[in-house]
């Protein structure tokens, strides 16, 4: 499938669809399209999967765009400054993604909401409780806050990451929430009480910016009304 990533600050991905090909995304992500492309909105995967996406912070409904002719173009735009990252799936394995990372994918790719087994990930780790899994055969695109950093972890190799800086990781990666040791971290630790522990083997994708944290800092500088 032909695609082009346009722009650098707040990028978009423009995809070329042939007759019979289709892309799906959450409501509101489409930026522009050829008039021959038609969109259909529905609760993808049924009621339960739709509710799962709602918990993940995504739209209850997904929109599928398909073309009546070859060479029709459609673009999907990111919502924050950063990077759009293409992922190619070939029917084996999958990728676990942070909620809100998914932008769009070919119709042959499956998107499902999953929940981490450790409740502390949601209670204290912020972003880590509700995740999404991409699998199947085809191409998907992720939104990344800031720049994308890809690392390949060897078997048993571990990295600790601020939860908001995790974008995605392969199925083979072990995912845990680890408490930062030391009482002083409760009061002075800028990273918070918990970090995400990722252990190989497998590929992980990180981001250099955490937009939720950035937005919170901006909000704290706005004077409150009297």
24-33 per-position pLDDT tens digit:
998 789 999 9
HEC-encoded secondary structure of 6-59: ECCCCCEEEEEECCCCEEEEECCCEEEECCCEEEEEECCCCHHHHHHHHHCCCC
Domain membership of residue 57 as a residue range: 3-217
**226 found inside a domain:** no
For residue 138, what pLDDT band results from cuts at 50, 70 and 90?
very high
DSSP conformational letter for 184: H
Residue 58 belongs to a domain: yes
Average pLDDT value for residue range 10-22: 96
Assign residue 82 the CATH number of its domain: 3.60.160.10
Question: What confidence score (pLDDT) does residue 177 get?
Answer: 84
Q: Which two tokens stand for residue 192?
A: 């918070």
Q: pLDDT per residue over 119-137, tens digit each? A: 444 444 445 568 899 999 9
Q: Which residues pair with 77 in a beta bridge?
A: 12
Confidence of residue 182 (pLDDT cuts 50, 70, 90): low
The verdict on residue 224 lying in a domain is no
The answer to whether 152 and 203 have CB atoms below 8 angstroms apart is yes
In sequence order, what E strands does 35-129 have? Answer: 37-42, 62-67, 72-77, 82-98, 102-106, 109-115
Residues 76, 13 contacting (CB under 8 angstroms): yes
Model confidence, pTM: 0.82
Could you tell me which residues are beta bridge partners of residue 179? 194
- Residues 59-76, mean pLDDT to the nearest whole number: 91
For residue 106, being part of any structural domain is answered with yes
What integer best gives the mean pLDDT of the chain? 83
Q: Would residue 225 count as lying in a domain? A: no
Closest by Cα among 106, 102, 92, 78 to 1: 106
Domain-located, residue 222: no
| Structural domain total, the chain | 1
Cα–Cα distance for residue pair 144/208, rounded to 1 Å: 9
- The pLDDT score that the predictor gives to residue 12 is 97
The answer to whether residue 90 is domain-embedded is: yes
The arithmetic mean of pLDDT across residues 34-52, rounded, is: 73
Evaluate whether residue 48 is within a structural domain.
yes
């Amino acid at each position: 499938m032909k695609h082009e990533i346009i722009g650098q600050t707040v990028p978009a991905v423009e995809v070329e669809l042939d007759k019979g090909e289709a892309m799906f995304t959450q409501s509101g992500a489409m930026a522009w399209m050829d008039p021959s492309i038609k969109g259909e909105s529905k609760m993808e995967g049924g009621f339960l999967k739709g509710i799962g996406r709602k918990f993940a912070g995504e739209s209850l409904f997904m929109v599928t765009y398909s073309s009546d002719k070859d060479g029709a173009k459609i673009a999907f735009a990111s919502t924050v400054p950063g990077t759009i990252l293409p992922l190619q799936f070939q029917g084996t394995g999958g990728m676990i993604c942070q909620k809100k990372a998914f932008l769009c994918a070919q119709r042959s790719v499956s998107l499902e909401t999953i929940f981490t087994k450790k409740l502390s990930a949601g209670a204290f780790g912020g972003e880590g409780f509700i995740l999404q899994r991409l699998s199947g055969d085809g191409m998907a695109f992720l939104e990344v806050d800031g720049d994308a950093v890809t690392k390949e972890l060897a078997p048993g190799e571990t990295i600790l990451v601020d939860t908001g800086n995790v974008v995605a990781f392969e199925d083979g990666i072990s995912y845990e929430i680890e408490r930062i040791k030391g009482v002083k971290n409760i009061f002075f630790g800028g990273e918070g009480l918990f970090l995400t522990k990722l252990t190989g083997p497998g590929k992980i994708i990180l981001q250099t910016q955490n937009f939720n944290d950035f937005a919170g800092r901006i909000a704290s500088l706005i004077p409150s009304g009297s």
